[in-house]
Amino acid sequence: MAGRARVTGLGAWLSGQGLPQLTPAELAQTGLAWALAVAALALGWLAGRTLGPRATALWTARVGEHGAGMGKRLCRILRHAIAALLLAIVARVYPWQPLGAAGIGVALGGSGALAMVGLLRGVGLARWIAWSVATVVFVALLSHSVGGFAQITATLDSIGVDLGSRRLSLLAVITMLVTVVLLYALVRLANRATGQALAGARALDPTQRLLAQKLIGIGIVVVAFFFGIDLLGIDLTSFALFSGAFGLAIGFGLQKTIGNLIAGIILLMDRSVKPGDVIVVGDSFGWVNKIGVRAVSVVTRDGKEHLIPNENLMTQEVENWSFSDPNVRIRIPVRVGYDCDLPLAQALMLRAATDSTRVLETPQPNVRLTAFGEYAVEHDILVWVSDPESGVGNIRSDVLNRLWVLFRENGIVVPYPQRDVRIVPQALGERPPAP
């Protein structure tokens, strides 16, 4: 009797607040709905505590640093997503009274919105974009739970303008923006996952992994585009004229862009230039950092990054120092005087080259006499290195520094040009002889 009196008192209080009078059975049903909502939230929290760390460890192992933003939010995403799934099941298993459905809807909308914020922030989207989409998700789930979703969509659809045979409404704009954001987030997530998966594929070399990553990325974007078109219900036949004009624009305005894209794919396929190679293109010398969609990144020894269009590497002459063999020979010119001990000077040159740390023993260094110059005997010290990406100027500097010390210790003189100037006296006023 006391419990029934309390239920009756709660119904009277709700009636006094302007809400409809609820019978004891309806009040009990509302209490059960709210209790199930709280239980779903508690189970979601428990699942986040137990499954979250394992999922985070698995995500870090599979995706690595590419998904660092998602990894640190995975526990919260799982917590809210599992709670939202359980609340959706609770909302569908029984036709709850409006007050009970409202409680479930608030919990469902909040959980779905927080899960969406974690997902969008995890893929690097701005905070305002994530919370805007989360607001739309909250309103949609709450209105669907209380049975007012149809009224909201009808109201949003009534706000718009007619453009010929098409109607642009507020509902269509919101749906399109939310769909684009979600597809963009899924594309970024899929690219990160496939990139890390390909990075661990030992059967592929770095060039093949990069090519596969580019092709898979393009495929993901194409699939997402057509999926979004189908999801939004856009009829592609109505855009026949627009697609023709767009194709014409690509043929003329985006010719270089498409050419660079195709050239980049060809470079990755024939492996003539690959990441890590040391190349010379025009005045640019350095090692290839990465091959992008539009350009190849070449990092010089000065730390400058040159972005060379892919098409230039297809049409211009390119020196690839590590195409088939990483070993590179370096010439170091040296001059000695005519009055020196030539065999001793050549032996000292060979010793200086051999003592350098980066010079290879095989092929072994060599010294060649190249010419009898105007004031010196000219030589070339020929050395081989296997890491040209570490620079060639420092090799010359190291060998010449060692050679300078050896020459000073053994009395070998490095000559320099000398000129004799003769001054012929001339009488005052006398003209110089005609040539």
CATH for 260-320? 2.30.30.60
Q: Which residues, other chains included, contact 79 with Cβ-Cβ below 8 Å and sequence gap of 6+?
A: 44, 45, 47, 48, 49, 52
Residue bearing the bigger pLDDT, 167 or 81:
81
Question: Residue 50 phi/psi, 5° resolution?
Answer: -90, -45
pLDDT value of position 145? 77
Q: Which residues, other chains included, contact 220 with Cβ-Cβ below 8 Å and sequence gap of 6+?
A: 187, 190, 191, 194
pLDDT tens digits along 332-353: 999 998 888 899 999 999 999 9
Q: Which of 315, 274, 316 is nearest to 296 (CA)?
A: 274
pLDDT tier for residue 381 given thresholds of 50, 70 and 90: very high
The burial class, CB within 10 Å (0-12 / 13-18 / 19+), for 301 is middle
pLDDT value of position 2? 42
pLDDT tens digits along 103-146: 888 888 888 888 888 888 877 788 888 888 888 888 888 887 77
**Of 31-40, 246-255, 403-412, minimum mean pLDDT range:** 246-255
Q: Which residues, other chains included, contact 270 with Cβ-Cβ below 8 Å and sequence gap of 6+?
A: none
Residue 399 C-alpha from the chain's centroid: 41
What are the residue boundaries of the structural domains of the chain, listed by start? 20-159+167-199, 260-320, 328-410
pLDDT tier for residue 401 given thresholds of 50, 70 and 90: very high
The residues that bridge with 21 in the sheet, in sequence order, are none
Q: Which helix (H) or strand (E) holds 60?
A: helix 24-63
Tokens 């609340």 belong to which residue? 87
The residues that bridge with 378 in the sheet, in sequence order, are 335, 371
pLDDT value of position 208? 67
Residue bearing the bigger pLDDT, 71 or 396:
396
What's the one-letter identity of residue 45?
W
Question: Do residues 359 and 385 lie in contact, with contact meaning Cβ atoms separated by under 8 Å?
Answer: yes
Residue bearing the bigger pLDDT, 238 or 178:
178
Q: Domain 328-410 is of which CATH architecture? A: 2-Layer Sandwich (3.30)
pLDDT tier for residue 241 given thresholds of 50, 70 and 90: low
Mean pLDDT, rounded, of the chain: 77
Tell me the two tokens of residue 48: 């986040």
